[in-house]
Structure 1
């Protein structure tokens, strides 16, 4: 049975798996804010369904089955389409949409999801630059790199912000750092110090300072490869 709890687990497993490998139950418990016992019970339940939604190997962790992955991607599709609708149609800012979409993603039908996609002309990316899965579960891969890894003197375009933390997004807004913004790395301080970046395409654009941990959350692409939202 596909309940809200099941969807939350599958979505969370998928997101952690994107970092590589199987998911430890302790990591899953910490991410979801539940006890290890609760995770163990749910994993057993998901693995006992037919078709089963996860595979679990003792001491190796959990991985989604193809069926589990399909459900997880459908939840992510709903979430990112809701974020885009809230932003484009209702005027919510990019720091507001994540929590609102999180509250709604388990409560809309596939029919409404498809209608939102149609109304928005099938957007490819959400307000944070995350790719929106297609109806069949396909998701566009990217080859972005972090702003922190960009060489001094190179100009790039902001393509994605990996962290949905509202405070971080508001901070970036204050620095005029948003999707599609062109930035140039002016200087990198030694010993993992901050980056100085020129925000804007003109030489007279303001220079801002970003901590390395923040710059690592900002994904960029060459200007010639810029995508369309």
Structure 2
């Protein structure tokens, strides 16, 4: 089987991850914004994904992955999140430093090495930011959660978006990490910051 182009792997991963924690579907405009690319370039790549049988898309509509597209996305997410976990637990990286490194390494690591990392790590179910790590057979379990901003009070943190490294450093300095309990006072303070994407256990 021919190797899958890196760009294709990146696209399906982002499309899948967009709706992993929330229900709003992704469009070419949102995808372009997420990837930092021109809308015209994204539109052409989405057409390629459709031609490859990895996505379904109607003009001006949402982009959905086919079963093959979903399987590829889960393979890439497994790679990305296991590498992030390994970098934090065994290499000494901070949770704010691993995303970009994993973006590069996920395309180069062999399946054999990835399986060895998984075993060495004890088959973790979540990465340092709380995102679920798919198993080798593609099984993924997203915990029941809601945005902290939508929670009535505080709650135990199950996931923090890794898109803003500076914010991750600030949150860590305040003891707000995956597994920590955010009280009502902290929730009120964080609720006014649009950058904060923290999920807590659903009641």
Q: Normalising by structure 1, report the TM-score.
A: 0.78
Aligned partners of 1:42, 1:68: CA distance in 2, in Å?
14
Structure 1 residue 145: Cα displacement: 2.3
- In terms of fraction of residues, the more helix-rich structure is 2
How far does the alpha carbon of each residue in 1:173-212 deviate from its partner, in whole angstroms, 9 at most, with x for none?
221222222332148xxxxxx71xxxxxxxxxxxxx4343
CA distance in 2, matches of 1:15, 1:73: 9
**Residue 24 (structure 2) pairs with residue 44 (structure 1):** no
Shift of 1:85: 0.1
SS in 1 for 2:63: strand
What secondary structure, in the 3-state scheme, does the structure 2 residue paired with 1:130 have?
coil
CA distance in 2 between counterparts of 1:217 and 1:37 reads 29
Distance 1:148 1:21 in 2: 17
Q: Which runs of 5+ in 2 are unaligned?
A: none
User: What is the alpha-carbon distance in structure 2 between the residues aligned to residue 89 and residue 215 of structure 1?
Assistant: 29
Determine if contact 1:26/1:36 at 8 Å carries over to the other structure: yes
Q: Distance in 1 between matches of 2:61 and 2:96?
A: 36
Does the 8 Å contact 1:150/1:185 carry over to 2? no
- Alignment partner of 2:183: what SS? strand
Task: Give RMSD over aligned pairs.
Answer: 2.3
Residue equivalent to 1:173: 172
Question: Which aligned pairs between 1:1-229 and structure 2 lie closer than 5 A?
Answer: 2-18=4-20, 19-20=22-23, 22-49=25-52, 52-152=53-153, 156-186=155-185, 195=188, 209-213=189-193, 217-221=197-201
TM normalised by structure 2 equals: 0.87
C-alpha deviation, 1:95, in angstroms: 0.9
